[in-house]
Amino acid sequence: MNLTTDLETILTASVPLMVPLLFAGLGEYVAQRAGTFNLSVEGMMLGSAFAAAYGASASGSPVVGLLCGMLAGLAVAFVHGNLSHRLQLNTYVVGLSLNVLVLGVTNYLLSTTMLDIPGSSAWRIPLLSDLPIIGKAFFVQPWVVYLLLPLLFVIWWVRRRRVGLELRAAGDDPVAGDLTGIDVNARRRQALLFCGLCSGVGGAYLSVFQSGSFTSGMTAGRGYIVIAAVIFGGWMLRGVIGACAVFGIAQGLQLALPAIGYGVSPQLLAATPYLLALVSLALLGARSKRPLALGQPFAPAR
């Protein structure tokens, strides 16, 4: 048994599975901080995965596929935002309905469409890719993975500006925010659109850059794992990143443990991420750091 090799195998299997969780998780973090409990993140990822696969297949370009995936995520977010924050429909019902709708639409389109998705080669970062244990896992990845770095910077930067304060006010005290002139529902819709954009990248990564194919329901509940990751992370940026990493490793162990010679039940390994999600929801769902108005509709006084 070689510990270094085993760790490298686990990380190499886990990091690609972390990526879609991180993209969608960062978007969901922003949406929930603004007060929207966004259940439609699963539909955003699934719709984006199909749109990206179709766009890449039709154009022969993974970049076009990525743009199509982002547009699909924005479309789901636009519908959710307007139904929840303009028409004041129940956001939980809207989110679940959109997930079911997207699943049905993508299944129908898949049955009528032939997809031929072009491949996308990995970028090898000089010197860093030769580091032991982490080099291959973190620095030999498709280029879209490295979009996480500017995305993290944007979120960090926005949190320290007026718009970030307004987003948090919309989630913590929308009444006070409204009295100071903040358009609470507009900020919530904007946060949802940002989530749709991020989830679109995550969905596109799944179909175009990771698997090179699209299958029915290929997100397989990742959207719900993302929601659990935001709760598990205590609605804090670093916590969400860590939670997505934990869930990604839990998924990666399904591939890595048999490869390094551990005879663990594959059914148990497959269930591990979802068990972690349930445990995190049960133990951490009532943590005090959650936005105080999370999931609560808001009707402005004026």
Q: According to the model, what pLDDT value does residue 286 have?
A: 57
Q: What is the pLDDT of residue 1?
A: 57
Residue corresponding to tokens 């990091």: 15
Contacts of 20 (CB under 8 A, 6+ apart): 45, 202, 203, 205, 206, 210, 222
pLDDT number for residue 6: 84
Q: What is the pLDDT of residue 278?
A: 75
Say what the pLDDT of residue 271 is: 77
The neighbour count for residue 260, using CB atoms within 10 Å, is: 15
How much is the pLDDT for 288? 54
What are the sequence ranges of the domains in the chain?
A: 3-118+134-287
Q: How many CA atoms lie within 13 A of 186 on its CB side?
A: 8
CATH of 3-118+134-287, one of 2.30.30, 1.10.3470, 1.20.120, 1.10.10: 1.10.3470
CA dihedral 11, 16, 18, 20 (to 10 degrees): 180
- Write down the pLDDT at residue 214: 95
Q: Check residue 215 and report its DSSP letter.
A: -
Cβ neighbours, 10 Å, residue 240 = 26
Residues of the chain with pLDDT under 50: none
Q: Rounded to whole angstroms, how far apart are CA atoms 1 and 146?
A: 32
Task: Identify the pLDDT of residue 204.
Answer: 97
Q: Could you report the per-residue pLDDT of 229-247, keeping only the tens digit for each? A: 998 888 999 989 999 998 8
- For position 59, what pLDDT does the model report? 94
Contact 23/202 with Cβ under 8 angstroms?
Answer: yes
